[in-house]
Structure 1
Amino acid sequence: MAKFFSETMALVLFFVAASVVFRSIPSSAELTSLDHSPKNGRSLSALVIGDWGRRGEYNQSQVATQMGRIGEKLDIDFVISTGDNFYENGLTGLEDNNFEESFSNVYTAKSLQKPWYSVLGNHDYRGDVLAQLSPVLQKMDSRFICMRSFILNAEIADFFFVDTNPFVEKYWTDPEDNTYDWRNVAPRQIYMSKLMKDLDDALKKSTATWKIVVGHHTMRSVSEHGDTPELLQFILPILKANGVDLYVNGHDHCLEHISSNDSPIQYLTSGGGSKAWRGVYRPNSDTLRFFHDGQGFMSLQLTKSEAAIAFYDVFGHVLYKWTMAKFGEEAHPAM
């Protein structure tokens, strides 16, 4: 334990030093800010989907059909993608037809012709990341908005999209993961330090009623991948210190709601966009409220006083609903 503590402190001190020493060096971790005005200014509605891009296979098309139906019913403002947008190995380049076959030709419902705000997943990093980040894709399909890390200001809520991939150490050290495209990311320590500082600063400046962080990797999960230790060590303290309400992710191919036992944070996994049914359940120390080891997606509805989530299965059936009320500066689960 003493060794772990000393190593952790050494790394933290390195990050602090790096943020000072390299402050003048441009970094792609800097958070770009986008604005999205809700349709009526008083409420916001979105769908959340992750781990989907399989050319319609593994029930991706069936999930997309139900997303279209629910999207119309809720009159959604936009869609959030939690990453792993294109399997198995991201895009090979701008000419890769996987973009159209896994995105444009699958999510064709009228209600889904809204912006798709997306982060990168680990499978996306196994391809040409710069192609997936290229504005050329937006010319091909204007819905697709993908950046490493950025802020979406939506009046009622601020969404902080975070590139969690560089934090996972094994992607850098495991020989099986040597195909990751780390252009504009390496060196890892400098990138992480800058991103952590930018996220902390942005969260502190936010005056939105709801603060929601979106990343690909799990923070807390009872499924195959489980918790991501690096996020618990480096990102979670920033979220706790800045009053974040929701952490939304994919990575585990399931649907989950876990409540933190020592903070108001709710952990929401929506990674059931295609291939699922892992058959793994590993409980952790926080409070598990809902777990579905299968395909589906999530809806999120926000007003200044309430946040409501719902999980849907591949048939569009509501599996679970939960609400949180906001009183002043505090959020409370609605029983």
Structure 2
Amino acid sequence: MAFTLLSILAATVSVTFCFPTVFQDLEDIGGNRTSIKFLAVGDWGGVPYPPYVTAVQKTTAKEMSKVAEQMGADFILALGDNFYYRGVDSVDSPRFQETFETVYTAKSLRVPWYVVAGNHDHAGNVKAQIEYTQKSDRWRFPSYYYELNFHIPNTGKTLTIVMLDTVMLCGNSDDFVDEKPRGPLLAAEANRQLVWLQERLARSKADFLLVAGHYPVWSVSEHGPTECLLQGLRPLLLKYNATAYLCGHDHNLQYLEESGVGYVVSGAGNFLDPDIRHWNHVPKGSLKFFTGQASTLGGFVHAEVSRNKLVLTFFQAKGTSLYRTVLPQRKLS
């Protein structure tokens, strides 16, 4: 298992990695703003045949545009499975237009999209998705994994979001046979990412610290908890007092809270799945919210980070909020 080398590699982390903290500039920030707002949507990647979009994707995109216009969205987190079913083959793939550019057309969605790869993306050419950053004015995918830092306007507070490639960490999986991640293709690359993650979390002084990837840590649905992340990621989230972990993979909306960390599953951008076969495979009392019913028409999450709290609101595509929760600012030792 890739994570067995962590303790060895961690000892050299301060020598091996020394990245300065770079802050992103938020666009169109008004002078009186005191929060950062964003949307989180996963598993939104259409289909590889005409019309290249699903009804759920279209209705979700429409509701995303309304919520972004009414509540605000400085950026969007795209949580993987960006192009079904086998990603893209090149940076010139027509899928970028068919499934992304011509679907999310509203002005309120013409903000930066910060992207991670999912298992379906890794069935194709992830490097091509990274390269598309140079061709799009809003697609931001600088590397397989990366860190985002923001100043929360007029508060003196900061937000950090660590974007992970969980497929690189845990291996790919075949959804069509309900296969679990079968271990990293390259153990050395998995360990390099995990050590990088530990270094970033250990150094973080952010008032709000989020981690985002594709595979869930906890989930009650079809794919369930990801054992590899339970072993390698969850201990780091707890040790370094992360605010929340955001993911997709299961095609529904879930919110779980365990040991002070919020776990957001936002995988309802293109398909819906009401499966709850892993209902008893998460810590007792941790599941706070779940929906995967076809009647919701899709869904996503709106987040607002202000001076002392993170507010998460779960929306269904047919036009109403379903659940809201509040997480406090980190306590830094």
Q: Name the SS of the counterpart of 2:119 in structure 1.
A: coil
**SS of alignment partner, residue 241 of structure 2:** coil
Who is 1:65 aligned against?
A: 62
2:154 is matched with which residue?
Answer: none
Cross-structure match for 1:229: 227
**Distance of 1:31 and 1:278 partners within structure 2:** 42
Structure 1 residues 94 and 328: CA distance shift in structure 2, 3 A: closer
Structure 1's 268 and 275: CA in aligned 2 closer, same or farther, altered over 3 A? same
Letter in 1 for 2:146: F
Q: Aligned residue for 1:50?
A: 42
CA distance in 1, matches of 2:134, 2:193: 28
Equivalent pair of 1:15/1:189 in contact (CA under 8 Å): no
Gaps of 5+ in 1: 1-7, 331-335
Q: Aligned runs of 1:96-111 on 2, under 5 Å? A: 96-111=93-108
Q: CA deviation at 1:128?
A: 1.2
SS at match of 1:310: strand
Task: Note if contact 1:18-1:190 (Cα within 8 Å) is conserved in structure 2.
Answer: no
Q: How does 1:1-335 map to 2 (within 5 A)?
A: 12-17=3-8, 35-38=23-26, 39-40=29-30, 42-54=34-46, 55-134=52-131, 137-146=132-141, 147-155=143-151, 156-169=158-171, 171=173, 188-260=186-258, 263-283=259-279, 284-286=282-284, 287-294=286-293, 295-326=298-329, 329=332
Deviations along 1:197-253, one digit per CA (max 9) or x if unpaired, are 111111121111100000100000001101000000011111111110100000000
Give the Cα–Cα distance (whole angstroms) in 2 for the partners of residues 308 and 59 of structure 1: 25
CA 1:78–1:34 in structure 2 vs 1: closer, same or farther (change >3 Å)? farther
Q: What is the deviation of 1:33?
A: 6.3
Distance 1:14 1:324 in 2: 33
- TM-score w.r.t. the length of structure 2 is 0.83
1:281–1:292 CA distance, 2 compared to 1 (3 A): farther
Equivalent-residue separation in structure 2 for 1:169 and 1:31 (angstroms):
26
Q: Secondary structure at the match of 1:240?
A: helix
Q: Deviations over 1:111-150 (max 9, x none)?
A: 000000010000000011211111xx23432111123110
Q: What RMSD, in angstroms, separates the aligned Cα atoms of the two structures?
A: 3.1
Secondary structure in 1 aligned to 2:129?
helix
Instruction: State the alpha-carbon separation in 2 of the partners of residues 212 and 201 from structure 1.
Output: 15
3-state secondary structure, aligned to 2:77: strand
Q: Cα offset for 1:20?
A: 7.2
SS of residue paired to 2:187: helix
Pairwise CA distance, 1:325: 3.1
Aligned residue for 1:277, secondary structure, equals: coil
Mean alpha-carbon deviation: is it higher for 154-163 or for 107-116?
Answer: 154-163
Change (3 A) 1:105 1:329: same
CA contact (8 A) 1:19 1:193 kept: no
Residue 189 (structure 1) shift:
1.8
Q: What is the SS of the residue equivalent to 2:148?
A: strand
Q: Percent identity?
A: 27
Change (3 A) 1:94 1:13: closer
Kept after mapping to 1: 8 A contact 2:274/2:291: no
Distance 1:270 1:92 in 2: 26
Could you tell me whether the CA contact under 8 Å between 2:170 and 2:190 is conserved in 1? no
Alignment CA distance shift 1:32-1:133 (3 Å): farther
Does the aligned pair in 2 maintain the 1:60–1:274 contact within 8 Å? yes
Contact 1:119 1:215 in 2 (8 A): yes
Distance 1:268 1:32 in 2: 28
Q: Which runs of 5+ in 2 are unaligned?
A: 47-51, 152-157
What one-letter code is carried by the residue in structure 2 that aligns with 1:150?
Y
Shift of 1:279: 3.1
